[in-house]
Amino acid sequence: MTTPAIKICGLTRAEDIDHMNRLGVELVGFNFIEKSPRFVTQDKGAGLAAMCRPAMERVALLVNPDDDGVDRAIAAVSPHRLQLHGDESPDRVQEIKRRSHCAIIKALPVETAQDVARAADYKACADWFLFDAKPPRDKAAQGVTGGHGEAFDWTALKAYDLSQPYLLAGGLTADNVAEALSVSGAPMVDAASGVESAAGQKDKQLMEAFIAAVRGRE
């Protein structure tokens, strides 16, 4: 069985990039969503992205971006992929893909298998999907779409039948990621709050434990 790829999201500190480089994490996420506690400015994102080892893919997180927002994210971190967390229509996703020349990760909030089935609407424009837990109502009202430490019923992913790879997100930690992978069969995992001591501040020990739990699977 292929070892799942790991994405760690919401990086805000140089020392955390350094540690991710040493650990060989496959993907790094930079959050350009202003309402998020992990938001980075264009200048800060650029500085952090410049520290990433060449083999680590850079992902820019956006919510319902206008063209200027797309352009600024690309200028900042030269992302390999754009991760779209809003209610972008398939047509808008296709427009963003054409404009950016980036691969697209369409994030979808999940509670039931019906939510997973929504991926079919984007099969012509998304390269990957990210399935995350629906945010609590108070967070949703504030426009916070992810990184809230909530998990969902991983069996819902058994309904997924498209060819695009996907990332499993939502409350993943070193303590539950092996079970999450066993239940879902996810090819990739994404962690943010589960490897933090505080929002945007990654914890070396938690990152190491999470990565060991993912890579230690037989």
pLDDT digits (tens, 9 = 90+) for 150-171: 899 999 999 899 999 999 999 9
Q: How confident is the model at residue 91 (pLDDT cuts 50, 70, 90)?
A: very high
Q: CA-to-CA distance for 112 and 153, rounded, in angstroms?
A: 7
Q: CA-to-CA distance for 108 and 101, rounded, in angstroms?
A: 21
pLDDT of res. 135: 79
**pLDDT, mean of residues 80-85:** 98
Residues whose CB falls within 8 Å of the CB of residue 100, separated by 6 or more in sequence, listed in order: 70, 74, 82
Q: Of 145-154, 174-183, 187-196, where does mean pLDDT reach its minimum?
A: 145-154
**At 28, which CATH number?**
3.20.20.70
β-partners of residue 218 are: none
Q: CA-to-CA distance for 22 and 6, rounded, in angstroms?
A: 14
Q: Is the pTM value of this prediction over 0.95?
A: no
DSSP line for 162-182: -SS-EEE-SS--TTTHHHHHH
For the chain, how many helices (H) and strands (E)? 8, 10
Assess whether pLDDT exceeds 50 at residue 19. yes
Q: Under DSSP, is residue 89 helix (H, G, I), strand (E, B) or coil?
A: coil
Residues 105, 167 contacting (CB under 8 angstroms) = yes
DSSP line for 92-121: HHHHHHHHH--EEEEEEEESSHHHHHGGGG
Number of structural domains in the chain = 1
Q: How confident is the model at residue 173 (pLDDT cuts 50, 70, 90)?
A: very high
The per-residue pLDDT of the chain, averaged, comes to 93
Q: In terms of residue numbers, what domain contains 95?
A: 5-215
**pLDDT, mean of residues 50-65:** 98
Assess whether pLDDT exceeds 90 at residue 218. no
